[in-house]
C-alpha cells in the first residue's frame, strides 16, 4: 500500500517539476504574448494557455472567431433537407485536447462573475481591451443557464464554444 502512495507522490512531484519547467520556457517562446493574454480568462492558466497555443498554432490564420470554433469541433452538427432543419450535438472534429481544455475552463464560469486575487494578478499589465473581453466572457454561463434553462453539461459546452471565440479575440488583439 505504501508503495502505491509513494509512486503517486513521485508522479505529483514530477508533474509539478514539468509544469514549472514549462512556465520557465514560456517567456522566451513565440507564444509569450498570446499565453499572457489568454491567462486573463477565468479557468485558463499557463498550462492551459500553452496547450491551446500548441494546438491552434497561429491564431492569426483564422479570419473570424467562428472559424476557430469550427476548427475545434465546438459547432452544432446539422442535418437539413428541404424545409426540415435538425441540429444535433457538436461535431467533435479537430483537436480533442484543445476542446477538452476549453470545456474544463468553461466549468470555472458557473460561479458568479468576479475578479479574485489570482485572476487580478494574472491580468496585471494587460490592455483594457483584453480585460474587457475577459469580463464579458465571465457573464456567459449565467445567461445560458438562467435565461434559457439549459442543462449544465450543455451550458458547459456552449460556454466552451464561446470561450474559443474569446480566446481568438484576445490572442489576436492588437
Average pLDDT over every residue of 152-166: 93
Flag whether 16 is in a domain.
Answer: yes
pLDDT at 53: 96
Same domain for 25 and 39: no
Flag whether 2 is in a domain.
Answer: yes
86-138: pLDDT as tens digits? 877 888 888 999 999 999 999 999 998 899 999 999 999 999 999 999 999 99
Flag whether 78 is in a domain.
Answer: no
Same domain for 35 and 7: no
Ordered alpha helix ranges (H), 107-171: 117-123, 128-138, 140-142, 148, 152-171
Domain of 121 in residue numbering reads as: 31-63+95-171
Same domain for 56 and 12: no
pLDDT at 76: 82
pLDDT at 102: 97
Same domain for 132 and 49: yes
Cα–Cα distances in angstroms (integers) from residue 47 to residues 31, 70, 84, 146, in the given order = 12, 23, 43, 31
39-84: pLDDT as tens digits? 999 999 999 999 999 999 999 999 999 999 999 999 988 788 888 8
Same domain for 105 and 149: yes
Residue 146 has pLDDT above 90, yes or no: no
Total number of domains in the chain: 2
Closest CA to 60 of 171, 161, 149: 171
Flag whether 158 is in a domain.
Answer: yes
Amino acid at each position: 500500500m505504501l508503495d502505491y502512495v509513494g509512486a503517486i507522490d513521485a508522479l505529483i512531484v514530477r508533474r509539478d517539476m514539468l509544469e514549472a519547467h514549462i512556465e520557465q520556457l514560456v517567456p522566451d517562446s513565440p507564444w509569450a504574448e498570446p499565453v499572457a493574454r489568454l491567462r486573463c480568462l477565468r479557468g485558463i492558466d499557463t498550462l492551459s494557455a500553452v496547450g491551446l497555443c500548441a494546438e491552434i498554432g497561429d491564431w492569426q490564420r483564422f479570419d473570424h472567431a467562428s472559424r476557430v470554433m469550427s476548427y475545434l469541433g465546438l459547432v452544432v452538427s446539422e442535418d437539413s433537407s428541404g424545409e426540415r432543419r435538425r441540429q444535433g450535438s457538436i461535431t467533435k472534429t479537430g483537436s480533442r485536447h484543445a476542446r477538452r481544455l476549453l470545456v474544463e475552463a468553461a466549468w470555472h464560469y458557473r460561479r458568479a462573475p468576479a475578479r479574485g486575487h489570482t485572476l487580478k494578478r494574472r491580468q496585471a499589465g494587460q490592455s483594457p481591451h483584453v480585460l474587457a473581453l475577459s469580463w464579458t466572457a465571465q457573464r456567459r454561463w449565467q445567461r445560458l443557464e438562467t435565461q434559457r434553462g439549459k442543462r449544465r453539461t450543455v451550458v458547459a459546452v456552449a460556454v466552451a464554444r464561446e470561450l474559443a471565440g474569446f480566446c481568438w479575440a484576445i490572442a489576436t488583439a492588437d
